């Protein structure tokens, strides 16, 4: 069989533990037999990050800027226990944080829907894509405990030394205070990423905040979204038959729960943290959640939303077979290959991505799945597979789809 050719390399970011094992199996079984895979390989495994003093992470992000599309395996974010386990010279930063900062991107998360895994919310028929602003607000806040009576103010000192003050509270006893910020430039990037992704995936965009209570802070988010939409995207949205919709966050929650899904829900940083867990859980499984980082100038990094599945990895090291779900990692590859195909005008590559996703979904719908899905599936006949057997079943289906043409 002729394998599909690629023109531009994909930026491949390898990772850690169980997902690193799956990564290789996915390549060997589901990609290399069908595609002449062309990648620029970066090993973000923790040991190699240590060897390169984390330069490899920066290099991989720069390569993403150059080529435009990356696919990333889950990686360990070191904590004290990992520093000991891997004899690290430093507690290296989260690779995702480093890459996100360099690409100035927004993360979009969407569930993979399959028959037999029903969302807890029965009206949901299509995926809900959650877009989380990943800069500022309470995540970059400064806080203080106020010991007793006194006055708290916000003070802005301009370049010329002049001060603007605003009273926060006149304390008559102990209390707490918090100062947080955002930058217009970051909010503008966020808005552009959301509108561009809406056009890309042909979905409406919803945005919500609490502008009625936060008349300066949240209202600025609302205004920036509206200004950018009107100036840069309104016409394209109209042509594509799409809409942009703003509402209050509490109203948005009520509408989301009653909706059928099928749109992008843009959230401020904290709302996005909370609501992405709610949406992921309500759709059934974190192992079925995809994630893509999109920069305002249209660079894409695809990955799974889950981590390296450490507990399964230790079982694997003991020689036991594990039933780790590879679906989100497979969809990271299909997402990246589809995007590469679209950018390079390679119709065959784009179609292959579709077939790979179809083969994966149909395998689960035929009753073959990993343990995490088997425990929540409503199908009558379910076969629990280990990861290798599950991937082999997908390969068989993929081969059939490929032969059908």
Q: For binding to ligand NAP (CB under 6 A), which residues are involved?
A: 74-77, 96, 286-287, 303, 306-311, 324-325, 372
The closest alpha carbon to 108, from 200, 22, 188, 184, belongs to 200
Residue nearest to ligand NAP (CB): 307
Work out the angle between the directed axes of helices 95-103 and 55-67 (0-180°, nearest 10).
40
Contact status, residue 124 vs residue 260, Cβ threshold 8 Å: yes
Q: Tokens 């405990």 sit at which residue?
A: 145
Residue 310 interface partner, choices Mg ion, ligand NAP, none, CB cut-off 5-8 Å depending on type: ligand NAP
DSSP label at residue 150: E
Contact status, residue 9 vs residue 63, Cβ threshold 8 Å: no
Residue 209 interface partner, choices Mg ion, ligand NAP, none, CB cut-off 5-8 Å depending on type: none
Please report whether residue 307 would count as binding Mg ion according to CB under 5 A.
no
The interface region with Mg ion, picked from 189-197, 213-221, 266-274, 371-379 by CB under 5 A, is 266-274
| Nearer to ligand NAP (CB atom), residue 3 or residue 27 | 27
In terms of C-beta distances under 8 Å and separation of at least 24 residues, what long-range contacts does 219-228 make, across chains too? 220/182, 220/184, 220/187, 221/182, 221/187, 221/268, 222/246, 224/184, 224/187, 224/188, 224/191, 225/187, 225/191, 225/194, 225/266, 228/188, 228/191, 228/192, 228/195
Report, in Å, the least distance between residue 277 CB and Mg ion: 5
Residue 182 interface partner, choices ligand NAP, Mg ion, none, CB cut-off 5-8 Å depending on type: none
- CA–CA gap between residue 251 and residue 249 (Å, rounded): 5
The DSSP annotation for 236-284 comes to HHHHHT--EEEEEHHHHHHHHHHS---EEEEE-HHHHHHHHHHHHHHHS
| Nearer to ligand NAP (CB atom), residue 209 or residue 291 | 291
Token pair for 109:
């998360």
Report, in Å, the least distance between residue 286 CB and ligand NAP: 6
Please report whether residue 29 would count as binding Mg ion according to CB under 5 A.
no
| Nearer to ligand NAP (CB atom), residue 194 or residue 305 | 305
The interface region with Mg ion, picked from 45-53, 230-238, 268-276, 376-384 by CB under 5 A, is 268-276
The interface region with Mg ion, picked from 137-145, 220-228, 259-267, 270-278 by CB under 5 A, is 270-278
Please report whether residue 273 would count as binding Mg ion according to CB under 5 A.
yes
Residue 306 interface partner, choices Mg ion, ligand NAP, none, CB cut-off 5-8 Å depending on type: ligand NAP
Residue 134 interface partner, choices ligand NAP, Mg ion, none, CB cut-off 5-8 Å depending on type: none
Residue 287 interface partner, choices ligand NAP, Mg ion, none, CB cut-off 5-8 Å depending on type: ligand NAP
| Nearer to ligand NAP (CB atom), residue 76 or residue 187 | 76
| Nearer to ligand NAP (CB atom), residue 287 or residue 359 | 287
Report, in Å, the least distance between residue 333 CB and ligand NAP: 14
Contact status, residue 360 vs residue 327, Cβ threshold 8 Å: yes
- CA–CA gap between residue 233 and residue 230 (Å, rounded): 6
Report, in Å, the least distance between residue 315 CB and ligand NAP: 9
Residue 311 interface partner, choices Mg ion, ligand NAP, none, CB cut-off 5-8 Å depending on type: ligand NAP
Q: What are phi and psi of 6, to 5 degrees?
A: -115, 155
Please report whether residue 94 would count as binding Mg ion according to CB under 5 A.
no
| Nearer to Mg ion (CB atom), residue 35 or residue 275 | 275
Report, in Å, the least distance between residue 13 CB and ligand NAP: 10
The closest alpha carbon to 267, from 187, 185, 198, 184, belongs to 187
- The vertex-86 CA angle with 49 and 102, nearest 5°, equals 25
Contacts with Mg ion by CB under 5 A lie at: 273
């Amino acid at each position: 069989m002729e394998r599909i050719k690629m023109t531009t390399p994909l930026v491949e970011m390898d990772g850690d533990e169980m997902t690193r094992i799956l990564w290789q199996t996915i390549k060997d079984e589901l990609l290399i037999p069908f595609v002449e895979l062309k990648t620029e390989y970066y090993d973000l495994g923790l040991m190699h990050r240590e060897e390169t003093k984390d330069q490899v992470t920066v290099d991989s992000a720069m390569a993403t800027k150059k080529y435009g599309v990356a696919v990333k395996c889950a990686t360990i974010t070191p904590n004290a226990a990992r520093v000991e386990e891997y004899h690290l010279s430093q507690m290296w930063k989260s690779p995702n944080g480093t890459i996100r900062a360099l690409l100035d991107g927004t993360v979009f998360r969407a569930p993979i829907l399959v028959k037999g895994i029903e969302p807890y919310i029965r009206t949901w028929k299509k995926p809900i894509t959650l877009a989380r602003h990943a800069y500022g607000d309470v995540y970059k806040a400064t806080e203080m405990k106020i010991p007793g009576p006194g006055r708290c103010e916000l003070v802005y000192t301009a370049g010329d030394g002049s001060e603007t003050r605003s009273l926060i509270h006149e304390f008559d006893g102990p209390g707490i205070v918090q100062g947080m910020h955002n930058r217009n430039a970051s909010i503008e990037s966020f808005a552009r990423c959301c509108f561009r992704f809406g056009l890309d995936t042909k979905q409406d965009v919803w945005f919500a905040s609490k502008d009625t209570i936060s008349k300066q802070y949240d209202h600025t988010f609302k205004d920036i979204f509206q200004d950018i939409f009107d100036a840069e995207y309104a016409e394209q949205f109209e042509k594509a038959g799409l809409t942009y919709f703003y509402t209050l966050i509490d109203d948005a929650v009520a509408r989301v729960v009653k909706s059928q899904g099928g749109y992008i829900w843009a959230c401020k940083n904290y709302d996005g943290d909370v609501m992405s867990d709610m949406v992921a859980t309500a759709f059934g499984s974190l192992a079925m959640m995809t994630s893509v980082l999109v920069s305002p100038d249209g660079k894409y990094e695809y990955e799974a939303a889950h981590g390296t599945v450490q507990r399964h990895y230790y079982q694997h090291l003991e020689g036991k077979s594990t039933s780790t779900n590879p679906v989100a990692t497979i969809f990271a590859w299909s997402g990246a290959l589809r995007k590469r195909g679209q950018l390079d005008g390679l119709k065959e590559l784009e179609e292959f991505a579709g077939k790979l996703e179809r083969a994966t979904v149909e395998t689960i719908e035929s009753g073959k799945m990993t343990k995490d899905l088997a425990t929540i599936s409503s199908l009558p006949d379910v076969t629990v597979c280990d990861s290798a057997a599950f991937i082999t079943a997908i390969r068989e289906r993929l081969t059939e789809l490929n032969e059908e043409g």
